[in-house]
Amino acid sequence: MLDLENLEHRARERLSATVYDYFAGGADDETTLADNPAAWKRMRLVPRVMRDVAQVSTETEVLGTGMAIPIMVGPWAFQGLAHPEGEPATARGAAAAGAVMVASTVATSSLEEVALAAAGSPLWFQFYLLSDRAMTADLLHRATAAGYRAVVMTVDKLPVAGRRRRLAADRFSLPEGSVIANFGYVVPEGHDAGPDGYLRGLLDPSVTFDDMEWACAECSLPLVVKGILHPDDAVAAVEAGAAGVIVSNHGGRQLDGAIATADALPAVVDAVAGRVPVLVDGGIRSGADVVKALAVGAAAVLVTRPIIWGLVVHGAPGVEAVLRELAAETSHAMALCGAGSVAAIDRGLVSGMARR
């Protein structure tokens, strides 16, 4: 058994205070950051008994991507700050655990290097709709050529980045020589901007769902929209061509006081009404949390911060260990709930919710 809370403490000891705060912190008073895990803990399971769970399978499929576990590695930027091997180490750890990694655009290794490290295991690629549409198109075409299975368009970084007080207090800026490989950018000497500084000049704050239609047409891969909290936005995304949506509040790093993802998920699932898969991230810290999300209607979950701590402490084996622990907890919780497969999990397992 792996103690994820203790793992974070060990990671904190290895990182500088500013880098730890960059990975761990949220926006403003960090209310939403704290509420994300608390909301899953408030949700209660109602186990079923006397079911045949001699065999429990966590296998599933989302948008044609087969998954050994319904747990994906969420995207996060600058993984080279967490471990010298950065994104390739995360990719190797995820592949070893049978999990799908969502690779970030704002990475210290190129999307091609990450694909090579994954050794043929399925990957998804996260991107932003940039002001420079040609640059955006190039990223999408490169992801297709590198063998990624789907692309994930993050929409909650717009129109402005969140106000992160921890970083402001630390005066955190990227180290000289840091690389944003997918853009061919190297942080110059004397640079004094935070991690969002470079990206701010690339993002288009005027983006609407009409622009999303362009991205869907430009890319031959399924396009999933990440950053949905309102059910009407989920519907708009589907109508604009999204193949899936991810309920996310950017890990509590954008709008403080935003609804927790566990609380937003039911209305989004109901609004989408099965037309596309709904995924969710934010505060998932146990296998029981995974089962709760699946019971509400998520097709899979994304986990990020526990993966960061695993990467910091042990590199690729640490990422694998975190995922294997969550997979074991998920299988255990499924057995105790009387669900022998992901398909057998439904809303009847969650207190106060009608069946789907």
Catalytic residues: 250
Q: What is the rounded distance in angstroms from the CA atom of residue 320 to the CA atom of residue 310?
A: 8
Q: What is the rounded distance in angstroms from the CA atom of residue 90 to the CA atom of residue 168?
A: 28
Q: What is the rounded distance in angstroms from the CA atom of residue 237 to the CA atom of residue 234?
A: 5
Measured over the CA atoms of residue 257, residue 262, residue 268 and residue 272, the dihedral's sign is positive
Q: What is the rounded distance in angstroms from the CA atom of residue 154 to the CA atom of residue 129?
A: 8
Phi, psi of 239 (to 5 degrees): -65, -25
For residues 114, 11, 180 and 221, what is the CA-based torsion angle, rounded to 10 degrees? 40
Contact 320, 68 (CB under 8 A): no
- Strands in the chain per DSSP E: 60-62, 65-67, 71-73, 101-103, 123-127, 150-154, 179-180, 185-186, 223-228, 244-247, 278-281, 300-303
Contact 307, 90 (CB under 8 A): yes
Nearest to 35 by CA among 188, 251, 179, 208: 251
Q: What is the rounded distance in angstroms from the CA atom of residue 228 to the CA atom of residue 220?
A: 22
Token couple for 130: 């940039």
User: Where on the phi/psi map is residue 241: left (φ > 0), alpha (ψ -120 to 50), or beta?
Assistant: left
User: Where on the phi/psi map is residue 177: left (φ > 0), alpha (ψ -120 to 50), or beta?
Assistant: left
Beta-carbon contacts of residue 102 (< 8 Å; ≥ 6 apart): 72, 73, 74, 75, 123, 124, 125, 126, 152, 302
